[in-house]
Structure 1
Amino acid sequence: MNIPQIRMESTFAKIGIETSSGNMEIEQPPAEMSIEQPKAEMIIDRRPPRLTIDQTKAFEDVLLKSVFRMTEDAAQEGYQQAMETISNISQEGDELMMIEYGFSALSAQAQRNSETLQADINIGWIPSHNSVRINYDPGETNIRWNTRPVNIDVRPNKPMINYTPGKTNIYLQQKNSLNIDFEI
């Protein structure tokens, strides 16, 4: 017995897709930049140090005096001795005036004038202590700076962009179909 048969044959539709990728190129040129730094100015005010050593008194102690100082000292010593001599003469005159009161002025004066003076001997330091004078001024230094600001000039460049968009192509690669066949 033959049974009738139906045969169905179908194919599905197929879609095809073709794509091409997009492309982007970016190039960034460097910025143009200039930097200028003016020099700073340094100002120095200075008073130099000073050392003074005065040895005049030490030289005088060892009799190394200047001619002017020796002349001045000799004149002073001569004046002093003249004043002492005038004083002694005046005193002896006063003593002689009082001879009437029974004072033996002549014998006392003779004895005084005949005695030799004793030398004054003592230990001393030559030159004397603290005879050298030292004076020191440390001076002074002042430093000032005049600074100037930095000049910076920057000019940026725009980026160069090259873009190619991607493409997509969609098409029907295979059509759908339905075949029906039957047998009796």
Structure 2
Amino acid sequence: MNIPQLQVTTTKAQLGFTTQQPTQQIEQPKATLDLQQPKAEMSINTTKSKLSIDTTEARADMDLKSAARRTSDVAQYAQSQVSNGIARRAQDGNDMMRIENGGNPIVAFAERAFRQPYSSLNVKFVPSIGSVKVSFQSGSVDIRVEPQKVINNSHANKPIHNYTPGKVTTELIQKPSIQIDWKV
């Protein structure tokens, strides 16, 4: 006996994929550096030191006097000698006026005039102690430094980013199908 049969034939669908890969490029440029350091401002002020040495008295002790000093000393000596001479002559005149009181004033005048004064023997240090006068005024140094700030005009550069997205395309290569047949 022939039994009818149902025959089913199917064809699968076939899909095709085409892929385009994505591309990405990243580039980081170096930072732009612009640094400047101005010089510091510096000022130096000095006061000179002063040394003063006065040797006038020490030179006078060694008989190395200036012309003005020697003239002054001679004038003082002459004035004192004149004063002494006037006083001595006045005294001599008074003694002569009182000759009646006794004594021999003329002989006393002669003895006084020709008597040698006693000289003393002393040790003298030349120049004398403290005759050199020294004075010193110290100087000073004033240093001022003003640092300057750094000028920073640097900046970072943004990255360069190029991106192309990927793409997938599909296509139907084979259509699906179903066939149904009866077989008797």
TM over 0.5: same fold?
yes
Identify the residue that residue 83 of structure 1 maps to in structure 2: 83
- Report the secondary structure of 2:57's partner residue: helix
Letter of the aligned partner of 1:121 in structure 2?
L
Distance 1:42 1:64 in 2: 50
1:29 aligns with 2:29: yes
- Report the secondary structure of 2:153's partner residue: strand
User: How far 1:25 moved relative to its partner?
Assistant: 5.7
Superposed CA deviations along residues 13-43 of structure 1, whole A, max 9, x for unmatched, are xxxxxxxx99866432221121111111211
Distance 2:26 2:96 in 1: 135
Paired residues of 1:95 and 1:105 also in contact (CA < 8 A) = no
Distance 1:126 1:77 in 2: 22
Unaligned runs of 5+ in 2: 1-20, 168-184
Identify the residue that residue 72 of structure 2 maps to in structure 1: 72
Larger deviation: 123-132 or 153-162? 153-162
Runs of 4+ in 1 over 6 A off after TM superposition: 21-24, 164-167
User: How far 1:48 moved relative to its partner?
Assistant: 1.4
Distance 2:91 2:163 in 1: 134
Q: TM-score, normalised by structure 2?
A: 0.65
Superposed CA deviations along residues 103-156 of structure 1, whole A, max 9, x for unmatched, are 536154444334221123211001111222222222111112233221111221
Superposed CA deviations along residues 34-90 of structure 1, whole A, max 9, x for unmatched, are 111111121111111222222222221111122222222112111111111112222
Identify the residue that residue 63 of structure 2 maps to in structure 1: 63
Identify the residue that residue 131 of structure 2 maps to in structure 1: 131
Paired residues of 1:32 and 1:157 also in contact (CA < 8 A) = yes
User: How far 1:97 moved relative to its partner?
Assistant: 4.0
5 Å-filtered alignment, 1:98-137, equals 98-100=98-100, 102=101, 104=103, 106=105, 108-137=108-137
Unaligned runs of 5+ in 1: 1-20, 168-184
Relative distance call for 1:165 and 1:108 in structure 2 (3 A) is same
Paired residues of 1:23 and 1:164 also in contact (CA < 8 A) = yes
- Count of residues in correspondence between the two structures: 149
Distance 1:110 1:74 in 2: 27
Letter of the aligned partner of 1:128 in structure 2?
S
Superposed CA deviations along residues 160-179 of structure 1, whole A, max 9, x for unmatched, are 34567799xxxxxxxxxxxx
Letter of the aligned partner of 2:159 in structure 1?
P
Paired residues of 1:61 and 1:128 also in contact (CA < 8 A) = yes
User: How far 1:99 moved relative to its partner?
Assistant: 4.4
- Report the secondary structure of 2:130's partner residue: coil
Relative distance call for 1:84 and 1:40 in structure 2 (3 A) is same
Relative distance call for 1:97 and 1:26 in structure 2 (3 A) is farther
Distance 2:165 2:102 in 1: 151
Q: Identity of counterpart residues, as a percentage?
A: 37
- Report the secondary structure of 1:71's partner residue: helix
After superposition, the CA RMSD in angstroms is 3.0
Distance 1:46 1:68 in 2: 37
Identify the residue that residue 170 of structure 1 maps to in structure 2: none
